[in-house]
Structure 1
Amino acid sequence: MEKMVSLRGTGRFGVRQIAIIGMLSAISIILGLSGFGFIPLPTAKATIMQIPVIIGAILEGPVVGAMIGLIFGLFSIIQSLTAPTVLSFAFINPLVSVLPRVFIGITAYYAYKWTQSKYEGVRIGVSAVVGSFTNTFGVLTMIYVLYAAQFAAARGIDLDAAIQVIYGIALINGIPEAIIAAAISIPVVGAIKKRYKN
């Protein structure tokens, strides 16, 4: 039987952890490249690219989650350079595109660990909501802190209105993103955990 080395205890990568990092990172990148990582809603586009980070964190701990988030963030920089949008000036900064994505794995794992419930689905759902909000509010907060003036200029609004617009986007996008993340994560993580046990 292959010996698995858990990142939770030793900080070293086992074969399973490396495979999960690679597989879930690839899924996140494919979602971004294909456009399937964005779900159109009546008022916005909800992203699901944070879901592989959340799943990896719940299954294998915060270090694995952070590594998948790191790759997600680095992909975001590359995408901003190769297919620029009006906000690409912000996303080429790792403090905007990488740091919040690394924290998705950390907050999702500890939300799962610290949620007290006898129902596994509740723990997974809380983790998914926390991880998703970490992505949405983390990215937009860094944009506000570092690029409020440029954001206002790009949107054609007054600087004083930037905070309302940014956090308005956070709420409009963040709530459906969190709901979708929970709806997908609960059955997926549940199924994988059952497979682990078997």
Structure 2
Amino acid sequence: MSNKNMFKTRQLTVIGLLSAISIVLGLTGYGFIPLPIAKATIMHIPVIIGAILEGPIVGVAIGLIFGVFSIIQNIMSPNLLSFAYMNPLVSVLPRVLIGVTSYYAYTLIKAKNQSIKIGISAVVGTLTNTFGVLTMIYVLYAARYATAKHISAKAAAATIYGVAVTNGTCEAIISVLITIPVVLAVKKIIKR
């Protein structure tokens, strides 16, 4: 088997493993950490890890599977905002972009300290997810969101971006705390 084929096999393995982790987190509810103000998600972290370790294509593939799973989950177990999450522009596009932004944040940062590079990449990927999803909800469904939440249309932006800031901050901190040790451990194993 050539090195090129082994590399593709390794990438497929990483995609399958990290996608499965993301799906299990969603199915079991472990992908949501209850906080006093909201639920913080960690389902995007496998996308960030895959992008850092294997590149943007792997990150995009894991993000695509995460996004498609989000659509399926909202069809199977609808909630107040499922109308928005059934749209691929809301649930898939931002999740695909996590892999791109995480990878390029990691590669473009010139810090020598790996923990700093990984941490910044985790923050960028997390904010891509949080602000990407909520911005698409605002752009496509502001009025419908306001109706679902029983608020005025004028209050939709403040409410949506209030959630983005609150959740985004918590999710970024959690993402950094999980992503740094996982990526450093895997990189250490790969060097052997």
- Normalising by structure 2, report the TM-score: 0.98
Counterpart of 1:174? 168
CA distance in 1, matches of 2:123, 2:13: 25
Q: Is the 8 Å Cα contact of residues 66 and 104 (structure 1) preserved in structure 2?
A: yes
CA distance in 2, matches of 1:2, 1:86: 50
CA distance in 1, matches of 2:191, 2:54: 14
Counterpart of 1:124? 118
Q: Give the residue type in structure 2 aligned to 1:46.
A: A
Kindly state the Cα deviation for residue 5 of structure 1 after the two structures are TM-superposed.
5.3
CA distance in 1, matches of 2:4, 2:39: 39
- Runs of 5+ unmatched residues, structure 1: 7-12
Q: Is the 8 Å Cα contact of residues 4 and 16 (structure 1) preserved in structure 2?
A: no
Q: Establish whether residue 44 from structure 1 lines up as the match of residue 38 from structure 2.
A: yes
Counterpart of 1:163? 157
CA distance in 2, matches of 1:74, 1:20: 18
Q: Secondary structure at the match of 2:154?
A: helix
- Normalising by structure 1, report the TM-score: 0.95
Counterpart of 1:190? 184
The match for 1:92 among 86, 89, 104 is 86
CA distance in 2, matches of 1:44, 1:99: 23
CA deviation string 1:136-182 (max 9, x = no partner): 00000000000001000000000011000000000110001001001
Residue identity over aligned pairs, in percent, reads 64
The match for 2:48 among 40, 48, 54 is 54
Counterpart of 1:75? 69
- Runs of 5+ unmatched residues, structure 2: none
Query: What's the C-alpha RMSD, in Å, of the aligned pairs?
Result: 1.2
Counterpart of 2:145? 151
CA distance in 2, matches of 1:141, 1:63: 24
Q: Secondary structure at the match of 2:118?
A: helix
Structure 1's consecutive aligned runs of 4 or more residues displaced over 2 angstroms after TM superposition are: none
Kindly state the Cα deviation for residue 185 of structure 1 after the two structures are TM-superposed.
0.3
CA distance in 1, matches of 2:4, 2:44: 26
CA distance in 2, matches of 1:23, 1:41: 28
CA deviation string 1:42-90 (max 9, x = no partner): 1111000000000000000001000000000000000000000000000
Q: Establish whether residue 34 from structure 1 lines up as the match of residue 34 from structure 2.
A: no
CA distance in 2, matches of 1:42, 1:155: 19
Counterpart of 2:3? 3
CA distance in 1, matches of 2:52, 2:113: 15
Kindly state the Cα deviation for residue 2 of structure 1 after the two structures are TM-superposed.
5.8
Q: 1:22 to 1:184 in 2, by over 3 A?
A: same
CA distance in 1, matches of 2:36, 2:73: 25
